[in-house]
Structure 1
Amino acid sequence: MERYEAIGAIETFGLVFVLEAADAMCKAADVEVLGYENVASGYISVIVKGDVAACKAAVEAGVQAVANMGAEVYSSVVIASPHIDLSKIVSRYALENLLPSGEEVK
């Protein structure tokens, strides 16, 4: 995994809310969804990459989108210039690793 200028993440409760957040994030700024994590308790995080300003704008838009639906964002973060070792965590949740064998992210 290459070094990103920034990564941003939002954690909320429920698939519908995280989909709304991810959609708002991608529409608000030039970011790419890296992946997501759905834990057993229903908390779901979505992770994006891009430059620092884009990640900040995307996370703000995602947080607002969830709030507009009447839900709560439990956590959000933008990490500018993440350490290369974070790739060990982020790659575990990458979309490529969540697809059936042989499928590509489009």
Structure 2
Amino acid sequence: MAQQALGIIEVKGLVALVEASDAALKAADLQMVGWSKIGSGLVTGFFTGDVASLKAGIDAAADAASQVGQVSAVHVIPRPHDELEGLVEL
């Protein structure tokens, strides 16, 4: 995972995550590598790709998700440490 950046979006509701994921994948050259149910309706999507693509994709995802639900957080990690892969379910 250290070769690619990691993008994360956390939203309230599965519908918002599906909308966000669709927008991200259409907007930029990135891959969705997983998602996780947090609890209390929060779900998080994980994406990989180069930094520029992730920033564009995550921005598009946040815009799309905010139309159908609530965006809790977005973040792009440019060079995640290899051991981070064990922390998130990828």
SS in 2 for 1:3: coil
**Number of corresponding residues:** 90
Retained in 1: the 8 A contact 2:16–2:66? no
TM-score, length-scaled by structure 2: 0.92
Q: Decide whether aligned partners of structure 1 residues 4 and 41 sit closer, same or farther in structure 2, where only a CA change above 3 A counts.
A: farther
What is the rounded CA distance, in whole Å, between the counterparts of 1:5 and 1:39 in structure 2?
Answer: 24
Q: Higher relative contact order at CA 8 Å, sep ≥6: structure 1 or structure 2? A: 2
Mind listing any 5+ residue stretches in structure 1 that lack a counterpart? 95-106
Aligned partners of 1:39 and 1:78: how far apart in 2? Answer: 19
What TM-score do the two structures reach when normalised by structure 1?
0.79
Q: Deviations over 1:58-105 (max 9, x none)?
A: 100000001222x22101100001111111123xx23xxxxxxxxxxx
Unaligned runs of 5+ in 2: none
CA distance in 1, matches of 2:14, 2:3: 26
**2:51 maps to 1:75:** no
Percent of pairs with identical residues: 37
State the alpha-carbon separation in 1 of the partners of residues 50 and 19 from structure 2: 21
Q: CA RMSD in A?
A: 1.1
Computing the radius of gyration from Cα coordinates, the structure with the larger value is 1
Amino acid at match of 1:41: S
Give 1:54's aligned residue.
Answer: 53
